[in-house]
Amino acid sequence: MNVRVTDSDPKLGSRLNRSMCRFVVRISRTGTRQAPGGNDQVMMRRFNISKGRRPVQIFLAVMIAFLFTVGCASTPEPVEETVDAVDSEFNDASNSASVPDTTVADTNVSGASLSIAPVYFDLDEFEIQSEYESILGTAGTALIESGATIVIEGHCDERGSDDYNVALGERRAGAVRNYLYNLGVPMSQMSIVSYGEAQPAVSGSGETAWQLNRRAQFQVR
């Protein structure tokens, strides 16, 4: 690199220009060295600088390459972040839905006493499932023969607003009453009431409890 100094004193400029020299950078030895306190291999180079015809820009280029190599070697490898599976009541086998088996035998007529098994519903549903048709058939026959009056209660699980659950419980109780009416039970023997989520059959949250609380049950009078 030539530097020319322009000054009012031409002798001073001449002396400065003659004093500037050109440099050559020679890499005399390369190697690796363990960086203290770390695992990265840091490239170490020793440079000899001597006068010559090559410009000093070579020295700058080599130094830039050296710094880039060190920076890349010390950059930590990215670590893939893992997320542990979140425990949930829905993926816990102990919370799998288990509805009690209700059969015709659970609906009993003993003298003046009448006992009718509950009817269970799917989430947000009030349609009577086929598995409960035989139970309601036996209950209908007993009601016709005994003339007993019943209150059909509609219940829901804890999810949903109070207003929504009261309306859903009413539809469930109404569906059971209509089914019994179609079997021949007079409307005068049946009344309905909805408790929404206010009177759960079992306490607690989770699919097991919710399944047991979505029901229609009977009070015989």
pLDDT for 14 beyond 90: no
115 and 215 share a domain?
Answer: yes
Instruction: Tell whether 134 is covered by a domain.
Output: yes
- Is residue 142 situated within a structural domain? yes
What are 59's two structure tokens? 């020295």
| Closest by CA position to 188, among listed 153, 133, 220, 148 | 148
Residue 50 shares a structural domain with residue 144: no
What pTM was estimated for this model as a whole? 0.53
Amino acid (1-letter code) at residue 104: V
**168 falls within a domain:** yes
Q: Are residues 141 and 216 in the same domain?
A: yes
**200 and 117 housed in the same domain:** yes
Structural domain containing residue 187:
98-220
30 and 107 part of one domain: no
What pLDDT is attached to residue 185?
Answer: 98
Residues 161 and 126 in one domain: yes
Percentage of residues in the chain having pLDDT higher than 70: 49
In a domain, 144, yes or no: yes
CATH code: domain of residue 173: 3.30.1330.60
The set of residues, in sequence order, having a beta carbon less than 8 Å from that of 143 and lying 6+ positions away, is 114, 150, 180, 185, 189, 190
Instruction: Assess if residue 81 is contained within a domain.
Output: no
Q: Are 109 and 214 in the same domain? A: yes
Q: In the structure, what pLDDT confidence band is assigned to residue 65 with cuts at 50, 70 and 90?
A: low
Whether 88 is covered by a domain: the verdict is no
Residue with the bigger pLDDT between 88 and 219: it is 219
HSE value, Cβ hemisphere, 13 Å, CA-based, for 186: 8
Q: How far is CA 65 from CA 62, 77, 145, in A?
A: 5, 21, 101
Tens of pLDDT, residues 119-162: 999 999 999 999 999 999 999 999 999 999 999 999 999 999 99
Q: Is residue 158 in some structural domain?
A: yes
